[in-house]
Structure 1
Amino acid sequence: MAGLLHSNTVIRQLKRHFAVHGIPQQLMTDNHVTSSPNYPRSNGLAERGVRSAKHLLEKCARDGSDVYAVLLNLRNTPRDGLPSPAQCLLSRRTRSLIPLVPSQLTPRVESNVQAALFALRQKGKRSHDKSARCLSPLEPGQTVRMETTCGFDKLATVSGKALQPNSYVVQSNGKAYVRNRRHLLQVPESNPINSPRSKTRRQGKETQRLRTGYRLNNTRQRMGA
């Protein structure tokens, strides 16, 4: 298996595809300009493809179906108002176990695919923009809170913009992080999260919460008595 991970193996497999379909203008790979960490929406196309593949494999495992036959039918199926993937790539349907009349196998160039795909994406963008808002840009040296699993509880300093869209490189505790703008919250430098005033406010809220819980427990005990 170790030999399958070498770059020569990848190049050889890619050349097989290029010999059939031609040399692409752009080759998209991983570990280059990556998507924003903890923000799947920034890489929605790949995430959707992975989700569809997982769903297909799970369904084949449950039904005992042939994966390759399912893939053949999937690539022959039009969706989202667009021609099927086989029609877009080969300009015709491919023969499968589903009966077809001979005329449906006749090659025909689909000329309006790009315009239809652009219109579909614009429709999705308009739907997204109804609830979206633009976040103000950040400047190097600015203090922010970085979102973690516990909320916006980690202080960080902006180092600059990252290669990814809408992302920044921030420094926290001597470590560099790349985070989407959505995960960074501006804070006034004069009142950072770890200042004595902020700590006192948080301690006061915690004390009030404990007192409220204590009063509720005493009330329940008296009512139960």
Structure 2
Amino acid sequence: MATNSDTIICKLGGIFTRFGMPEELMTDNGPQFAAEQLRCFAAKCDFRHITSSPNFPQSNGMAERAIKTAKWILKQDDPDLALLSYRSTPTEPTKESPARLLMGREIRTTLPVLKESLMLKWPDLETVKMNDAKAKQCYEKYYNRRYSTKTLPPLSVGDRVRIKTDEEKVWTTTATVQCQEATPRSFTLETGCGGTPRRNRRHIRLGDQELIFPLEMDISQPNDPNEQCGPVGQYSSATRRNMVVYLHP
């Protein structure tokens, strides 16, 4: 199936007809979502379209998790029955099934069930929101503990920074903060060559912070054989390969 902008708009139109138009639509930065057709469609349907941070799928974690669940369902012997089971099973964060949250009642499956449970009975949405918030706080707590995360210093417009992605090894590209995007922890930057990349705070480091060279880079060796090594050359090779160099804008 084609994944161009026209196909996306057609599928979204069917969803909006069935469930109503949303106030906000969040996607990744695929070319089909950045096209002019989708911007016009968003203006026509009066919803706000925001995108996640480039090169950082974790910022769009809800969609990534939904894709993982959909792939698991499609691998089952009977995908329709697997989807029915998923929709009728209460989730851990909300303590309610997707079917009851959407329709206000449970749906009948192949398992025996009392007729009373199929009657219309809306859940307490405030309790659902509270349970969901508690679960997310718990996830955040254990994630931060496992990966020893730390709070990064805030950024302001005009700050000189260095940027990289997870695939790059060193913080070599310099840039200036232009503005903060609607997505949390996402910033638009301006590089020295005129580019305006957008990066998550994870991929941005203030210009006066430390720059750690990779292990395979020997910073003591000059490009010119006749050039004298600086103070770094006074250290052993093992020490040089683990040195932290402080850079100032």
Structure 2 length-normalised TM = 0.64
Partner SS, residue 25 of structure 2: coil
In structure 2, relative to structure 1, the CA distance for the partners of 1:41 and 1:71 (3 Å cut) is same
Percent of paired sites with the same residue? 25
Which of 66, 72, 89 aligns to 2:78? It is: 66
Q: How many residues align?
A: 195
Matched, 1:108 2:128: no
> 1:5 matched to which residue of 2?
6
For residues 141-188 of structure 1, what are the alpha-carbon distances to aligned partners after superposition, in whole Å with 9 as ceiling and x for unaligned?
A: 514243452312432211322313212223153322111111122334
Relative to total residues, which structure has the larger helix share, 1 or 2? 1
1:111-190 aligned at under 5 Å gives the runs: 111=124, 112-130=127-145, 131-139=148-156, 140-147=158-165, 149-163=167-181, 164-170=183-189, 171-188=191-208
Structure 1 length-normalised TM = 0.69
> 1:222 matched to which residue of 2?
none
Q: Distance in 2 between matches of 1:178 and 1:188?
A: 20
8 Å CA contact 1:146–1:156 kept in 2: the answer is no
In structure 2, relative to structure 1, the CA distance for the partners of 1:145 and 1:102 (3 Å cut) is closer
8 Å CA contact 2:171–2:211 kept in 1: the answer is no
Which of 55, 64, 71 aligns to 1:38? It is: 55
Q: Distance in 1 between matches of 2:134 and 2:200?
A: 27
Q: Which has the larger radius of gyration?
A: 1
8 Å CA contact 2:26–2:52 kept in 1: the answer is no
In structure 2, relative to structure 1, the CA distance for the partners of 1:50 and 1:106 (3 Å cut) is same
How far the C-alpha of 1:44 sits from its partner, in A, is 1.4
Matched, 1:92 2:105: yes
For residues 16-56 of structure 1, what are the alpha-carbon distances to aligned partners after superposition, in whole Å with 9 as ceiling and x for unaligned?
A: 313xxxx3552415344211122222121111111111122
8 Å CA contact 2:159–2:206 kept in 1: the answer is no
Over aligned residue pairs, what C-alpha RMSD do you find? Answer: 3.5
Look up the equivalent residue of 1:100 and give its one-letter code. V
Q: Distance in 2 between matches of 1:88 and 1:102?
A: 18
Look up the equivalent residue of 2:17 and give its one-letter code. R
How far the C-alpha of 1:136 sits from its partner, in A, is 1.3
> 1:218 matched to which residue of 2?
none
Look up the equivalent residue of 1:109 and give its one-letter code. W
Q: Which runs of 5+ in 2 are unaligned?
A: 28-32, 34-48, 223-228, 239-249
Matched, 1:83 2:102: no
Q: Which 4+ residue blocks in structure 1 deviate beyond 6 angstroms?
A: 1-4, 204-207
